[in-house]
Chain A
Amino acid sequence: MTIKLWKGNEAIAEAAVRAGADAYFGYPITPQTELLEYLSSRMPALGRVFLQAESEIGAIHMVYGAASAGKRAFTTSSSPGISLMQEGLSYIAASEVPCVLVDIMRGGPGLGNIQPSQADYFQMTRSAGHGDYHPLVLAPATVQEAVDLMSISFDLAFLYRHLVVLLADGILGQMMEPVEMPPLRTLEDQMPGWALTGAVGRPPRNITSLYLGAEQLEGLNLRLQAKLAQIAAYEQRWESYRTDDAEQLIVAFGTVGRIARSAVDQAREQGQRVGLFRPISLWPFPAQPLAQLSRHVDSILVVEMNAGQMREDVERIVGGPVHFLGRMGGMIPTPEEIVEALPMKPKAQVHRNGSNGAAPVKRIKERSYAPSA
């Protein structure tokens, strides 16, 4: 195996190819356009399908069609494009066909900008469309992890016949990092038993999201909920970093997760006992391990590139308010900024007041400075 420098978007595209993607449908939007560009030559060269749709709405419904035929189909976009896909995503979830979606998030709301953001946490973890469901949401922190997660996404999508979302941002899409690629998987021509392949010589099958009878639709919903419970039981992923003796815990995901890792190292060099909890699956959220960790620390700081969306999950899980640092609109927190936001200061500066730390401070920093991207 060789390690090579890969740009995030291209690495995710290649990982999808190697995981056996049959068909890609998409529409260009910064900061994920390299995915399309890369696949436009790579997929046809392997005799697979690449199609630039007329819009994101077209693209997701093409995925719906190809997935209904039992194919490993996927699409990619960035925040505003994902909004356009909501209808198709909901139909896919209701129809229980496997689908992989990559969201390289950018600043919102609205057309926003093309800088990195994590502001689609709610959109993705809550439903990614109307109706009662959650997609399985995976959030990588490095290009290597994006590749590793992409490599298992189709398997997960087919295992659960469900929507799997790889949730990254402009930084991960645009940056280059060393990557070890998995080998190209050979496709087995094995059609799942539910796939629409033409009913000649067998009873017809039906894939639909329309259930006019209330009893039938409740039946579908109960089936979906049972499936989600199973996903919640088996698909929680997370990383703990230097948490063994931590007094303060940082919780961050994706790009901010890796920046927070540097913050942990910096704070440790100043003598602070700080650890990091980084959820990798955002839904299902690794609640149990976080709850357990939270009992052994004095304070929790959530850091996100949004106004505190994951914070709501963290507060629900740990059962109380936590400290928060958020940057928005494409602004990226620095490790120094995170260290500064830690509620407990290095030992020498702490004025003990009998309590186990300062009162919780929830703040959105409004200070601005020129980012280097």
Chain B
Amino acid sequence: MQTSIVIAGFGGQGVLFAGQLLAHAALDARKHVTWIPSYGPEMRGGTAHCTVIISDRPVGSPLARHPEIVLAMNQPSAVKYAPLIGLGGLLVVNTSLAEIPATRPDVRLIPVAANEVAEAAGDLRLANVVLLGALLATRPILPAPVVEKALERYLPERHRHLLDANRAAFRAGYASQDEQTRLAA
């Protein structure tokens, strides 16, 4: 079993951290895992993204041409990555900043107004964690409590004061997907 996840958005939206959080949690769940950022010049003023591979076996390529899961935090990311999603994949899209891309019958779409959910949970900047919550509610690639625990363990020192808000945002993202959605996914 191997899952590839691309998280993409503007620089500053926390896409790299969201990926690292997932990677830390995967390690805590005793999975094989790799995380790799985009480190090209596009980071300066454009979109940023990272790829996380979670697997039961040693990971070969840390990149995925057709990721199973894409978290698109803004419009350019949704446009760029939605068509690349692998067959039967999942697109979690931040509808606060992106239009829902043209539907693909094989791709399951999870629209989340992540900015609004994050703001209601305490801080607009936590939209990244909201999307992670929504992802894990619809496709439990890792147990949600492990990811929540990883927040406690790996939130950088300078953001410690936002730990409770992070936890609230993660739970709000999880709760944004009702039972029906969860079962359907």
* B90 on the A face (CB < 8 A): no
Within 8 A of A (CB), among B56-71: 57-65, 67
With contact pairs A5-B23, A174-B36 given, residues A372 and B65 touching in the complex (Cβ less than 8 Å) = yes
Bound together, the chains give a CA A114 to CA B41 distance in angstroms of: 9
Within 8 A of A (CB), among B7-35: 20, 23-24, 27, 32-35
Distance from B18 Cβ to chain A, minimum over Cβ atoms (Å): 13
* B38 on the A face (CB < 8 A): yes
Interface residue count for B (Cβ, 8 Å)?
28
Distance from B23 Cβ to chain A, minimum over Cβ atoms (Å): 6
Say yes or no: A262 contacts B36, CB within 8 Å: no
* A308 on the B face (CB < 8 A): no
Question: Which of chain A's residues has its CB closest to B51's CB?
Answer: A372
Select which of B36, B41, B67 is within 8 A of A373 by beta carbon. B36
Say yes or no: B61 contacts A178, CB within 8 Å: no
Say yes or no: B61 contacts A334, CB within 8 Å: yes
Say yes or no: A177 contacts B33, CB within 8 Å: yes
A-chain residues with CB within 8 Å of residue B23 when the two chains form the complex: 5, 176
Say yes or no: A258 contacts B57, CB within 8 Å: no
* B172 on the A face (CB < 8 A): no
Within 8 A of B (CB), among A161-186: 170-171, 174-178
Say yes or no: A259 contacts B36, CB within 8 Å: no
* A332 on the B face (CB < 8 A): yes
Say yes or no: A174 contacts B37, CB within 8 Å: yes
Bound together, the chains give a CA A142 to CA B53 distance in angstroms of: 14
Bound together, the chains give a CA A336 to CA B65 distance in angstroms of: 10
B-chain residues with CB within 8 Å of residue A31 when the two chains form the complex: 39
* B46 on the A face (CB < 8 A): no
Say yes or no: A332 contacts B61, CB within 8 Å: yes
Say yes or no: A259 contacts B60, CB within 8 Å: yes
* A76 on the B face (CB < 8 A): no
Q: How large is the interface on A (under 10, 10 to 19, 20 to 34, 35 or more residues)?
A: 20 to 34
Select which of A113, A171, A263 is within 8 A of B62 by beta carbon. A171
B-chain residues with CB within 8 Å of residue A371 when the two chains form the complex: 63, 65
* B92 on the A face (CB < 8 A): no
Bound together, the chains give a CA A369 to CA B64 distance in angstroms of: 12
Say yes or no: B61 contacts A259, CB within 8 Å: yes
Say yes or no: B20 contacts A258, CB within 8 Å: no
Question: Which of chain A's residues has its CB closest to B63's CB?
Answer: A372
Say yes or no: A335 contacts B61, CB within 8 Å: yes
Say yes or no: A258 contacts B61, CB within 8 Å: yes
Bound together, the chains give a CA A371 to CA B57 distance in angstroms of: 23
With contact pairs A5-B35, A174-B39, A334-B61 given, residues A372 and B67 touching in the complex (Cβ less than 8 Å) = yes
Which residue among B39, B57, B61 has the maximum number of chain A CB atoms within 10 Å of its CB?
Answer: B61
Question: Which of chain B's residues has its CB closest to A33's CB?
Answer: B39
Distance from A242 Cβ to chain B, minimum over Cβ atoms (Å): 13
B-chain residues with CB within 8 Å of residue A5 when the two chains form the complex: 20, 23-24, 27, 33, 35
Question: Which of chain A's residues has its CB closest to B80's CB?
Answer: A370
* A261 on the B face (CB < 8 A): yes
Distance from B58 Cβ to chain A, minimum over Cβ atoms (Å): 7
Select which of B32, B60, B63 is within 8 A of A261 by beta carbon. B60
Within 8 A of B (CB), among A237-285: 258-263, 265
Say yes or no: A176 contacts B65, CB within 8 Å: no
Select which of A30, A176, A177, A332 is within 8 A of B39 by beta carbon. A30
Question: Which of chain B's residues has its CB closest to A115's CB?
Answer: B40
* B6 on the A face (CB < 8 A): yes
Distance from B47 Cβ to chain A, minimum over Cβ atoms (Å): 12
Q: Which 3 A-B pairs have the closest CB atoms?
A: A262-B60, A176-B35, A175-B36
Chain B residues with CB under 8 Å of chain A are 6, 20, 23-24, 27, 32-41, 49, 51, 57-65, 67, 84
Chain A residues with CB under 8 Å of chain B are 3-5, 30-31, 113-115, 142, 170-171, 174-178, 258-263, 265, 332, 334-336, 369-373
Instruction: List 17 A–B pairs whose Cβ atoms lie within 8 Å, in order of A's numbering.
Output: A3-B27, A5-B20, A5-B23, A113-B40, A114-B39, A171-B63, A174-B36, A174-B37, A176-B36, A177-B34, A177-B35, A177-B62, A259-B60, A262-B59, A334-B65, A372-B49, A372-B84
